[in-house]
Amino acid sequence: MNVNDIVNRVSKYDSNLAKEISRYLNSRKYGLVYEESKPEFVRLPNKTVVKGDLVNILPPRGTVKSDDSKYQDKWRVTALDKEHNKVKVMSLEKEDKTLTVNYDDLVAIARFDQPVYTGLKEVDRIERGGDKPFNTVINGENFHALETLMYAYQGKIDCIYIDPPYNTGAKDWKYNNNYVSSDDSYRHSKWLTFMEDRLKLAKKLLNPKDSVLICTIDEKEYNRLGILLDQLFPEANIQMISSVINPSGVSRGNEFYRTDEYIYFVKIGKASPQPLALSTDWLTAKKTGKDKIRWRPIRRQGSHDSRADAYNEFYPIYLSKDGKKFVGTGEPLAPSQKVSDISLPESVIAIWPIKTNGEDGCWQISRDTFSELNRKGYTRIKYSKKWGYTLQYLAKGEQKKVENGQFPIIGRNYEGDGSIIVGESEKSAPFIPGTQWRIPSHSAREYGSGLLNRILKTKRFSFPKSLYAEADTIRFFVKNKPNAIILDFFAGSGTTAHAVDLLNSEDNGKRQVICVTNNEVSAEESKHMSKKGLRAGDADWEKYGIAHHVTWPRIKCAISGDDVNGNPIKGTYDLKEKIYRPINATVVDEATGKKKQKKFYEAKNTSVYPELKDKMMSDGFKENAIFFDLEYLEPSVIKSDLAFNQIAPLLWLKAGSKGRIIQHKDDYDMTSEYAVLFNYKYIGQFIRQLKQHSEIKTVFIVTDVNSRYQDLCHELSDRNVYKLYESYLKPFEIQSLS
């Protein structure tokens, strides 16, 4: 029982005491206790600075960094003279301190516990997937992007996969616009604050009935992350596995080499990993063995196994006199007939579906079906002294294993019953693996860096994940969800989008991926470009940011099948592994001259991912992707009702991310997926057209009058109708940390 349950029980007897206990508990922090680094700020280099904005003053161009406090302080713009490029600012840290600076030397900042207004601006798209939903890629601060996505996806995300900064001290992430280094005494507290704020939003986006959060981490923060996840997701089933991502290891000085990382699975509701048919590399803690062909008795057993349950399936199956071959079948007996009434040919043995207790039973299959299966070799005869003749067949699932090549036919028992002889399966029976993964295809060197360099032609990103590691990890939870929505808000090089495309190509799924990344450059690149006089926001700086330089081109190239130079990407998505299959052979003992049966093994190259056997990288994927910049909008624009086109993509996302995005050009508009009514004057015409298009399931009405919204809901009771206020962005105000 947790403390909230205790408070609830106390409230039944003494409500005042319950309030006092709650007040006391709220004044204390339990569980993971750390020094919160609040509030959090982020720079907005592409936002136009206006009066009232919070800003940083940038060091002079060509300066790498400065210890002058004015470059570290937060300032508020109090007066602005753009004509003369001058701005008056007041310090938030030091009372009554003001400065007059050049407008070009300011960068807007956002404080996470203050209201901001966001929109999405389409930058690019690629369409190869027909009517499939678009994958969405957003360049922006992930905290604000998650808040923005809440309108369309709250409670709807099936899987979140994130690879957050590992906080190694190598300046691989920023907090409050500064790289966090190993000598920062608040490094762990900053990281926990950073993660907690985003994971709280992630929880709101996940489907509470059935979803999973997957988070990778290394040994620097795995223990703190585990406690944080326990605290944020008390209702979830959380498990951690260890995965080898670098078999050769990374040197840690005088420590053990690092070869693996950790993956947390936060399973919410009924979410659980699905058993999969995996390669032998996954057989670690649990030995499941190879899949086998299962021959079932033709006589029905269990429920509905009596003659009265299926009169047409009570007929004789004839064997040759020696009992080795099938020679035909007889007619089904009428309900009134007995076996003893039938005159049988003397040249055959008649097998009836008689139960072991002597009662009349029935066969599993009809006479015609038996004849067809017998022709294919899918029936066979077994004999034992105890049970006599037992007839067997392959059910539909087993037939499929043969016909799709999983069990190759290597012969037939022509001297006997004509049944097929199959070789061993190259796959294991479906199973859930153990918690130690040592999978060759998960090596980040070959299938992360090597693959990314093949696409981008130069090294643009450090330590990308293996494509197959992500695909395999996500597959456990979305294999049976062909329309799943997957989110990655630390998208990095875009591996998650690539992995989801790969999963869709295996089974023609329509899974949708949403990726969020910023356009930061590395600490070294920042230093180098600053020396050249560049700043964040400059075109020559932004083009080398992670979104523009890595994530977007990788995703577009994967879909098109061409590298960044426009040449077909070389290679295939399938991988090969060598397996050893047992074969029986007759050998002669040189000493005695006698023949002996021995078991040998033959080597064979087989597909690790047979579903991708013919999938060339140059084929690309039948997918659509759209690329957005996260925009920050001014309240003055909102009050003037001029911001619809900035929030239009959010309506499109809510309606399913298909087709074109409706912009405000006419009094109303509609696509095959959704419709928007801007001018209530045209309500009649709008409804008449909608009723001619039953495929349109999502409808928006722009109005401040609630009765108009209710009228539309009544007229379109079979659709999802949503209201938008005339001040469009009012519902999209972001302020989640208050």
pLDDT digit string (tens) for 537-552? 899 999 999 999 999 9
**Same-domain pairing of 143 and 250:** yes
**Same-domain pairing of 153 and 18:** no
Decide if 540 contacts 480 (C-beta within 8 A). no
Residue 648 lies in a domain: no
Residue 650 lies in a domain: no
Q: Say which DSSP state 40 is in.
A: -
Spatial CB neighbours of 7, under 8 Å, sequence gap ≥ 6: 18, 21, 22, 25
Decide if 159 contacts 477 (C-beta within 8 A). yes
Question: 692 versus 646: which is more confidently predicted?
Answer: 692
**Same-domain pairing of 204 and 330:** no
Q: What is the pLDDT of residue 391?
A: 96
Residue 581: pLDDT band (50, 70, 90) is low
Query: What is the rounded average pLDDT for all residues in the chain?
Result: 89
In the predicted model, is pLDDT for residue 605 greater than 60? yes
Q: What is the pLDDT of residue 68?
A: 65
What is the helix (H) or strand (E) element at residue 41, kind and residue range? strand 41-44
Residue 637 lies in a domain: no
Residue 728: pLDDT band (50, 70, 90) is low
Please give the Cα distance from 503 to 510 (Å, whole number).
Answer: 9
pLDDT digit string (tens) for 132-168? 999 999 999 999 999 999 999 999 999 999 999 998 8
Residue 186 lies in a domain: yes
Chain centroid to Cα 77, Å, comes to 43
Question: 392 versus 40: which is more confidently predicted?
Answer: 392
**Same-domain pairing of 102 and 239:** no
Any idea which of 63-67, 343-347, 517-521, 680-684 has the lowest mean pLDDT? 63-67
In the predicted model, is pLDDT for residue 255 greater than 90? no
Question: 392 versus 176: which is more confidently predicted?
Answer: 392
**Same-domain pairing of 139 and 270:** yes
Question: 26 versus 497: which is more confidently predicted?
Answer: 497
pLDDT (mean) for 601-606: 75
Task: Of 160, 251, 247, give the one whose Cα is nearest residue 437.
Answer: 247
What is the helix (H) or strand (E) element at residue 9, kind and residue range? helix 3-11
Any idea which of 359-363, 632-636, 702-706 has the lowest mean pLDDT? 632-636
Integer CA distances (angstroms), 402 to 95, 359, 590, 607, 716, in order:
80, 35, 39, 17, 51
Question: 643 versus 374: which is more confidently predicted?
Answer: 374
Q: Which long-range contacts (CB under 8 A, 24 or more apart) does 333-336 make?
A: 335/308, 335/311
Side-chain half-sphere exposure of 46, counting CA atoms within 13 A: 16
Q: Where are the alpha helices (DSSP H) in 317-449?
A: 367-376, 396-403, 444
3-state secondary structure of 639: helix
**Between the ranges 209-213, 286-290, 343-347, where is the mean pLDDT highest?**
209-213
pLDDT (mean) for 278-289: 68
pLDDT (mean) for 89-117: 89
Residue 287: pLDDT band (50, 70, 90) is low
Residue 320 lies in a domain: yes
**Same-domain pairing of 415 and 497:** no
Please give the Cα distance from 203 to 169 (Å, whole number).
Answer: 27
**Same-domain pairing of 164 and 68:** no
Q: At 381, phi and psi to the nearest 5?
A: -115, 130
Which residue is listed with tokens 């095959």? 672
Decide if 512 contacts 133 (C-beta within 8 A). yes
Q: What is the pLDDT of residue 214?
A: 98
Residue 185: pLDDT band (50, 70, 90) is confident
**Same-domain pairing of 154 and 103:** no
Residue 317: pLDDT band (50, 70, 90) is very high
Task: Of 275, 198, 209, 284, give the one whose Cα is nearest residue 241.
Answer: 284
Integer CA distances (angstroms), 244 to 34, 257, 259, 266, in order:
31, 12, 6, 20
CB neighbourhood size of 109 (10 A): 20
Please give the Cα distance from 102 to 535 (Å, whole number).
Answer: 15
**Same-domain pairing of 120 and 265:** yes
- Pair of tokens at residue 44: 């907005």
Q: What is the pLDDT of residue 738?
A: 41
In the predicted model, is pLDDT for residue 737 greater than 80? no
In the predicted model, is pLDDT for residue 639 greater than 60? no
Domain end residue (candidates: 584, 608, 632): 608
Q: What is the pLDDT of residue 427?
A: 63
In the predicted model, is pLDDT for residue 513 greater than 50? yes
CATH code (residue 85): 2.30.30.30
In the predicted model, is pLDDT for residue 604 greater than 80? no
3-state secondary structure of 406: coil
Task: Of 273, 594, 648, give the one whose Cα is nearest residue 437.
Answer: 273
DSSP-derived secondary structure for 594-616: -EEEEEEEEEEEEESSGGGTT-B
Domain end residue (candidates: 568, 589, 608): 608
Residue 162 lies in a domain: yes
Question: What residue ranges in 364-503 does DSSP mark as E strands?
Answer: 379-384, 388-393, 409-412, 420-422, 436-437, 485-488
Residue 632 lies in a domain: no
Integer CA distances (angstroms), 202 to 198, 205, 691, in order:
6, 5, 37
Q: Which long-range contacts (CB under 8 A, 24 or more apart) does 705-713 make?
A: 705/680, 708/680, 708/683, 711/683, 712/677, 712/683, 712/687
- Pair of tokens at residue 27: 């004044």
Quick check: bond before 39 cis, omega within 30?
Answer: yes
Residue 34 lies in a domain: no
Sign of CA dihedral 542, 547, 549, 555: negative
3-state secondary structure of 554: helix
Please give the Cα distance from 461 to 734 (Å, whole number).
Answer: 31
Q: What is the pLDDT of residue 348?
A: 93
Q: What is the pLDDT of residue 426?
A: 60
3-state secondary structure of 561: coil
Domain end residue (candidates: 63, 78, 111): 111
Number of domains making up the chain: 6
Q: What is the pLDDT of residue 64?
A: 78
**Same-domain pairing of 536 and 602:** no
**Same-domain pairing of 509 and 547:** yes
pLDDT digit string (tens) for 117-132? 888 999 999 999 999 9
Domain that holds residue 102: 41-111
What is the helix (H) or strand (E) element at residue 190, kind and residue range? helix 187-205
**Same-domain pairing of 122 and 84:** no
Integer CA distances (angstroms), 285 to 258, 281, 432, in order:
22, 11, 10
Residue 243: pLDDT band (50, 70, 90) is very high
